[in-house]
Amino acid sequence: MISLRGVTLVYPNGVRAIDGIDLEIAKGDFVFLVGHSGTGKSSLLRLLYREMMPTTGVITVDGIRVDRLRRGRIPALRRHLGVVFQDFKLLTDKTVWENVAFALQVTGTNTKEIVRQVPRCLDMVGLSHKSRMYPDELSGGEQQRTAIARAIVNNPKLLLCDEPTGNLDPQNTTEIMELLGRINLKGTTVVVATHNQAVVDRMRRRVVRLEDGRIITDEERGYYFLGLGQDQVLSG
């Protein structure tokens, strides 16, 4: 699903955000990206949805050569993946229903399809009863669930989450992570950048640890901190 080969990203100010990364993520995987702030987790995600172009290296997402993707072809890539952020990025003057439908409307989906897809996604995130409410009337967890519904309404093969629980309390965090787990079970590849130790330790999924723009460990069933688990596998 995702393949990075020799990828580096140097910002115009000279900072090397990504410093030579090789990474393979298989279809249907659930992967945590962990590491301190500023180690390149967000930059790595931005490369995957072509918010950024790598300075060097080859990036393939769902068969698309993202590192060579022309500006005009970006929408085609984005329709194959969903992105979720710490700050939800909802439109405050639209209802929950409209926020989710928005993702379909702007890609020219016909009304019949919208009316079918939106309730399905709201049902999946458990917000059917609040579809007429505005984001300001929702809790943080509900706002994030709205954002997730919007991210998956296109039936993406890949879901990218950048600190999805950064603004949430433990209860909501648990619910959101369970939701991401359910989405993953339906076959969507999920990549979550986080520094929430509890989440990582409880889920016991693949953990890719970044430091200074490099991958320092890649464990199949990892913990947030290195050395806690017995089944860790060090990688290149």
Q: By the criterion CB under 8 A, which residues form the site for another protein?
A: 49, 72, 74-79, 83, 89, 91, 102-103, 105-108, 110-112, 114, 150, 154
67's tokens: 């590192």
**How near is the Cβ of 139 to another protein at its closest, in Å?**
21
**How near is the Cβ of 72 to another protein at its closest, in Å?**
7
Closer Cβ to another protein, 53 or 77, answer by number:
77
The residue among 207, 181, 183 whose CA lies nearest residue 123 is 183
**How near is the Cβ of 178 to another protein at its closest, in Å?**
24
Closer Cβ to another protein, 106 or 234, answer by number:
106
- All residues at 6 or more sequence positions from 224 whose CB lies less than 8 Å from its CB, including other chains: 34, 195, 196, 197, 200, 201, 207
**How near is the Cβ of 98 to another protein at its closest, in Å?**
9
**How near is the Cβ of 180 to another protein at its closest, in Å?**
18
Q: Which helix (H) or strand (E) holds 125?
A: helix 111-125
Closer Cβ to another protein, 94 or 202, answer by number:
94
Closer Cβ to another protein, 21 or 103, answer by number:
103
Closer Cβ to another protein, 89 or 182, answer by number:
89
Q: Which residues of 7-36 are buried (b: 16+ CB within 10 A; e: fewer)?
A: bebeeeeeebbbbebebebeeebbbbbbbe
DSSP sequence for 10-56? E-TTS-EEEEEEEEEE-TT-EEEEE-STTSSHHHHHHHHTTSS--SE
